[in-house]
Every structure is written in structure tokens, then in C-alpha cells.
Amino acid sequence: MDLTRTLLIGNSGSGKSWLAQRLAEHLRVPWIDLDRIHWLSDEYNIARPQGEALGMARIAADEERWVIEGIYGGIVSEIIHRATTLIWLCIEDEECVANIRQREVNDDERLMALLEWAGSYRLRDESSGFAAHQRLFEGFTGSKIQLMDRFETTNFATQITPL
């Protein structure tokens, strides 16, 4: 599996950032979190203009080596042609919701919205939902792997060899 340019997709709370960080550190490549591209601030309430976000993602994907992760199918579809490997964290919605509850400290309105968002992954009919990710995964012609739970994700992370 060629991990030179690895793209990770999956639901919120699926472990994308956890795995991406470990991959990037182990492979000594940049880690790009699409949340930082999609949102204008850490408050996650103001989206960056779409054209600007796509431009930033394309610039990042033009680099020779990277790990890029995110839920944003609209952005992913614009850069997927640069990926050498696609990893889909296809974790059950309930597990993603539990993961979010475990990592978040504040029980506020933003958390409630995130939990609802993660819990509706398989129902959402838009570019960041399950069906859109499935189409991206099925259409990808490079190396790809689908990880179904935390055990598979952790096991995969421990088997990575440096580039």
C-alpha cells in the first residue's frame, strides 16, 4: 500500500484525526485536517467560502507527501485524484457518537449539534454522508482500505512502516 498521499474519510467521531495524526507522525509527512480548511474559526460556526476552501485543499493536495483527513465529501472529491491511498473509517454511528461524548468536555449546544450530526451519518443525503463516502470509496482506483471499528483502526495504525 502506497501511503505517500493518504486520504482518510469517515463520520465525525470515527477516529480520522487520531489515525491521521499517527500516520503523519510515523511517515514523517504533513497532516492536513479539512476542518481547518472548511471552517474560518475554531468555533465551527462560520464556514469558509467554498471556492477559497477548495483552493486551499488543492494547494495542500499538490504537495508530494501528506495525510489529509475529513468528512467533507465536496472537498475530498476535488482532491481524491491526487491520493495514492484512500482509507474509509466506516464506523457505526453509535460508536462515533460515543467517541465524541468521550472526547468533549463541554455539554453545550455545539456538542448537541455534533452528536446529532454524527448520529445521522447513514441518513444524510449530501456530500458528507455515508452514501457519498461510499461512492467515493467505490470509485477510487488506487489502494484503499475500509476500517469498520476501533480495533481495526488501531491494528492498522500499528502496522504502518515508514516511507
pLDDT at 66: 98
Helix, strand, coil percentages, rounded to 5, for the chain: 50, 15, 35
Contacts of 123 (CB under 8 A, 6+ apart): 129, 130
Residue 163 lies in a domain: no
In a domain, 97, yes or no: yes
Residue 160 lies in a domain: no
Query: What's the confidence (pLDDT) of residue 96?
Result: 96
CATH at residue 81: 3.40.50.300
DSSP for 33-63 reads EHHHHHBSSTTS-SBPPHHHHHHHHHHHHTS
- pLDDT in the model for residue 36: 94
pLDDT score recorded for residue 78: 97
Q: Rounded to an integer, what distance in angstroms lies between the CA atom of residue 135 and that of residue 29?
A: 27
Look at the chain and report how many structural domains it folds into: 1
Q: Which strand ranges, in their side-by-side order, compose the sheet holding 143-147?
A: 31-33, 66-69, 5-10, 85-89, 143-147
Domain of residue 37, residue span: 5-154
Residue ranges of the chain with per-residue pLDDT less than 50: none
Identify the CA nearest to 10 among candidates 79, 54, 67, 76. Answer: 76
3-19 confidence digits (pLDDT tens): 999 999 999 999 999 99
14 domain-assigned: yes
Question: What's the pTM value of the predicted model, to 2 decimals?
Answer: 0.94
Specify if 162 maps to a domain.
no
Report the pLDDT value the prediction gives residue 163, as an integer from 0 to 100.
Answer: 66
Residue 161 included in any domain: no
**Residue 160: per-residue pLDDT:** 86
